[in-house]
């Protein structure tokens, strides 16, 4: 006993000294040293873990922030690993590590940490919201639609079954996703099945799915790109069948051509010669067999307003005709060749619909079982097409889709009239070619494969008279026959090139959402009205102050000159307006056009700053009134600062709602800071936001949110695994075209008063009356944005550049007319969640 007491006393002294040192260094904000002492303490006295947990967490997080600022990334990881060894069940530490990983771009790894945190504490809101944010990156929403597409699944199963049973017994599934195509192959009798997947999340998901369906030892899943695979390093020998669905709306955008060229060269048995008949054993095959691309020219106002500035005036400003506005999805030669040349839409649900201006036409064919054709695709000369216009209208876009021929008998169409999980590729027409056309006109289009993308390039629009003239001029001297279509098209292209005027226009690229905002008449006019009201009010206040000062000073000058000799007419220039909107915004110029006020824009892009300056000049706004706020800030400075020492802002414009339909991150914190930087009578725009919602039934939203049982996946157990990545809130919705049944009237869910709100945690509970029987599957929501008490914007109308969002219920609620449901709405850190129950 006497030998043990000194040791025990020594341990107690060590524990005490370590604790005291840790606390002392923590008070001095020497977080690194404090963290080291806490580690020593917990290793010596692990029984103190619960007592000092809060202090240890605080020290860890502060030290990690410091390490991050010093770019000591590996040290951050080491600290968190040490912390998790001591606190393996601490959901806060798991979540914090995930946040660091996510900020550094490690999304897959971050998802794992968030997922672990939720498993430890399902009620931990921050980890849940973080996981939802990452889940959208890791498992894109189309996975759910695709797995719920029974027609697609049946087609692939049939094609794979026939090919395997014809003798293709070794199979490679490229881009396996959840592994469903690999399982089709194994179920069909393939003796060797391999699958590769680049995404770590999807790879792990496929492994879980395959194991759950009792095929773990029968399908080998590789976490890698197919382009990195070799024989015999990863495959024992070449396979006889490759199955893949690495196609997007534009067919080639997910790299199917490159991966199949590599597969034919290194992983697949050689293709069967076309001249050879008989069995296919010993030869390689690809599913899909081939594809045929189709297209048509359309008029579509929704596409037009996102890719072409349609207004000559916005918010009282004349839009400069010397500026060429274009979107990233453009035929303009100034657009980066590596950018995706198309966007996507589900055309049968596009708001306002569309009008075909040409008959649909066949644009391109590709044989995936012909290696030479695949290799020559990128160098293939563009196919030039003459397309007769069949209906008058405004040419807004070329819409493209394809028929995927899986084998000789089974095909899938992604056309706009099909019930399909695919969207269509949309090639917006911009500039001079976006014009009125009518029957008798001819549209000239080039179709090619450029940088692994399918490209439709509108070359020219030809009137009937001009076409006839060119046909005559291109006739052969030796023959009276008309020139060939190829000769005609070449002549048209030359005509189009030589007829272009060479003007030095200022070019400015805007995101499609920025163009839509510029085209949003309601948005521009309502902001103009609100700014006019506010600036008029502030000007009147300044005039009253000036007059009062003049009387007090007994000034003889009736022009109300101040002590510096400044007249009342100049006082408005002393007011400062700051616009911190996201992206390109003309609101500073709208304010400067209304009153002689100093305006500050938060634009960073040089090209967009130049465009705003050009607009100011063309609208007779003095260049001295417009400033770019980023030019005054350090790289790490916040936008919300005083305009200068001793001054405050008169108006601060905040961007409150994201285009996708969600409240912007950190809005309440920004509003609270902005209020501190306003002069006493100054205003925030907007001042208040009301959130509205209603009860609906929508099978479409259910299919997009989660895999619905086993029927669509043909009996395979996939739903429980991929549904771990479902998110309750769906964004970028078009409520006007979303298939749904309204079960209640719209109701106000929550209100955010940005002029007084100090917390970003709010909740409300309301009762909603059901007016129609059905199944409540979702609560879509939108906003009324009050710029002042009289002027508001609605994010759900035909001209809005905003989309809507919806909270999708895990379990639909059966209701009848007259029922009452209770909605509990939680607003936490800019995220909205709901609990819906019977009243």
Share of the chain above pLDDT 70, in %: 88
DSSP three-state, residue 21:
helix
Average pLDDT over residues 277-300: 90
- Kindly report whether the global pTM for this prediction surpasses the value 0.75: yes
Given the structure tokens 């197919």, which residue do they identify? 226
484-514 pLDDT, tens digit per residue, is 555 555 555 444 443 444 456 788 999 999 9
Residue 560 banded pLDDT, cuts 50, 70, 90: very low
The mean pLDDT of the chain is 87
Q: What's the confidence (pLDDT) of residue 174?
A: 97
Condensed to tens digits (0 to 9), the pLDDT of residues 580-612 reads: 999 999 999 999 999 999 999 999 999 999 999
Q: What are phi and psi of 324, to 5 degrees?
A: -95, 110
Q: What are phi and psi of 751, to 5 degrees?
A: -130, 135
Nearest to 361 by CA among 389, 339, 340: 389
List, for residues 731-781, the tens digit of each pLDDT value.
999 999 999 999 999 999 999 999 998 887 899 999 999 999 999 999 999
Q: Which two tokens stand for residue 288?
A: 């899909």
Give how far the C-alpha of residue 451 lies from the chain's centroid of Cα atoms, to the nearest Å.
23
Task: Report the pLDDT averaged over residues 709-720.
Answer: 95
Asked whether the predicted pLDDT for residue 547 surpasses 50, the reply is no
Closest alpha carbon to 168 in 242, 89, 66, 258: 242
Per-residue pLDDT tens digits for 215-228: 999 999 999 999 99
| b/e burial code for range 469-491 (CB count within 10 A of at least 16 → b) | ebeeeeeeeeeeeebeeeebbeb
> What's 817's DSSP letter?
T
| Alpha carbon separation from 604 to 60, 610, 649 (Å, rounded) | 35, 11, 20
Q: How confident is the model at residue 3 (pLDDT cuts 50, 70, 90)?
A: very low
Q: Which residue did the predictor score with more confidence, 623 or 108?
A: 623
Q: Confidence class of residue 273 from pLDDT cuts 50, 70 and 90? A: confident
pLDDT (mean) for 669-694: 94
Spell 559-584 as b/e; 16+ CB within 10 A means b: ebbbeeeeebeebbbebbbbbbbeeb
């Amino acid at each position: 006993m006497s030998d043990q007491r000194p040791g025990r006393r020594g341990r107690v002294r060590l524990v005490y000294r370590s604790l005291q040192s840790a606390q002392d260094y923590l008070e001095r904000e020497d977080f690194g040293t404090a963290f080291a002492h806490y580690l020593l303490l917990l290793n010596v006295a692990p029984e103190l873990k619960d007592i000092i947990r809060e202090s240890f967490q605080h020290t860890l997080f502060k030290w990690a922030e410091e390490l991050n600022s010093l770019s000591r990334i590996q040290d951050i990881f080491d600290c968190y690993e040490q912390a998790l060894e001591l606190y393996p069940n601490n959901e806060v530490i798991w979540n914090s590590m995930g946040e660091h990983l996510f900020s550094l771009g490690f999304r897959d790894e971050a998802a794992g940490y968030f997922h672990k945190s939720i498993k430890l504490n399902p009620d931990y809101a921050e980890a849940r919201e973080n996981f939802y944010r990452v889940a959208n990156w890791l498992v894109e929403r189309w996975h759910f639609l695709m797995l719920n597409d029974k027609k697609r699944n049946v087609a692939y199963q049939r094609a794979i079954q026939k090919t395997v049973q014809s003798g293709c017994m070794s199979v490679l599934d490229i881009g396996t996703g959840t592994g469903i195509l690999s399982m089709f192959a194994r179920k069909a009798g393939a003796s060797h099945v391999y699958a590769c997947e680049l995404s770590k999340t999807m790879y792990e998901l496929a492994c879980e799915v395959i194991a759950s369906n009792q095929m773990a030892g029968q399908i080998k899943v590789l976490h890698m790109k197919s382009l990195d695979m070799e024989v015999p390093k990863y495959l024992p020998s070449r396979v006889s069948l490759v199955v893949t669905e690495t196609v997007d709306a534009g067919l080639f955008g997910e790299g199917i051509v490159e991966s199949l060229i590599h597969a034919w060269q290194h992983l697949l048995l050689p293709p069967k010669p076309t001249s050879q008949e008989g069995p296919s054993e010993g030869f390689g095959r690809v599913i899909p067999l081939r594809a045929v691309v189709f297209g048509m020219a359309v008029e579509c106002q929704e596409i037009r307003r996102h890719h072409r500035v349609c207004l000559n005036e916005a918010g009282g400003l004349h839009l400069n005709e010397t500026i060429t506005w274009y979107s990233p999805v453009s035929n303009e030669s100034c657009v980066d060749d590596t950018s995706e040349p198309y966007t996507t839409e589900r055309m049968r649900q596009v708001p306002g619909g569309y009008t075909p201006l040409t008959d649909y036409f066949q644009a391109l064919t590709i044989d995936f079982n012909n290696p030479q054709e695949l290799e020559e695709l990128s160098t293939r000369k563009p196919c030039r097409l003459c397309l007769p216009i069949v209906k008058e209208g405004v040419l807004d876009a070329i819409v493209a889709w394809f028929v995927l021929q899986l084998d000789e008998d089974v095909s899938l169409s992604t056309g706009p009239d099909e019930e399909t999980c695919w969207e269509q590729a949309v090639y917006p027409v911009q500039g001079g070619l976006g014009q009125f056309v009518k029957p008798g006109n001819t549209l000239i289009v080039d179709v090619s494969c450029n940088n692994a993308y399918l490209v439709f390039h509108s070359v020219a629009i030809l009137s009937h008279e001009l076409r006839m003239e060119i046909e005559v001029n291109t006739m052969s001297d030796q023959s009276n026959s008309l020139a060939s279509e190829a000769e005609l098209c070449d002549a048209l292209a030359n005509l189009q090139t030589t007829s272009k005027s060479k003007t030095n226009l200022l070019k400015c690229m805007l995101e499609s959402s920025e163009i839509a905002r510029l085209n949003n008449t309601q948005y521009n006019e309502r902001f103009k009205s609100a700014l006019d009201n506010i600036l008029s009010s502030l000007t009147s206040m300044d005039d009253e102050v000036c007059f009062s000062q003049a009387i007090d000073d007994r000034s003889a000058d009736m022009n109300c000159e101040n002590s510096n000799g400044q007249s009342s007419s100049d006082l408005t220039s002393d007011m400062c307006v700051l616009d911190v909107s996201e992206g390109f915004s003309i609101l500073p110029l709208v304010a400067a056009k209304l009153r002689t006020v100093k305006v500050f824009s938060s634009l960073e892009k040089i090209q967009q700053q130049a465009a705003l300056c050009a607009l100011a000049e063309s609208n007779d706004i003095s260049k001295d009134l417009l400033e770019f706020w980023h030019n005054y800030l350090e790289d790490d400075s916040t936008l919300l600062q005083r305009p200068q020492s001793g001054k405050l802002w008169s108006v601060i414009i905040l961007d409150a709602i994201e285009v996708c339909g969600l409240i912007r991150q950190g809005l309440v914190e920004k509003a609270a800071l902005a209020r501190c930087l306003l002069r006493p009578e100054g205003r925030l725009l907007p001042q208040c936001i009301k959130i509205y919602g209603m009860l609906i039934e929508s099978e479409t939203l259910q299919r997009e949110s989660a895999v619905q049982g086993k029927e669509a996946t043909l009996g395979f157990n996939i739903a429980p695994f991929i549904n771990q990545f479902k998110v309750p809130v769906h964004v970028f919705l078009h409520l006007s075209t979303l298939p749904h049944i309204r079960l209640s009237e719209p109701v106000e869910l929550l209100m955010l008063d940005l002029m007084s709100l100090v917390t970003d945690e709010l909740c409300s509970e309301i009762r909603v009356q059901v007016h129609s029987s059905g199944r409540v599957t979702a609560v879509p929501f939108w906003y009324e944005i009050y710029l002042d008490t009289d002027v508001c914007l609605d994010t759900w109308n035909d001209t809005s550049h905003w989309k809507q969002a919806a909270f999708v219920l895990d379990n639909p609620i059966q209701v009848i007319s007259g029922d009452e449901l209770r909605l509990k709405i939680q607003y936490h850190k800019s995220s909205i969640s709901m609990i819906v129950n019977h009243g």
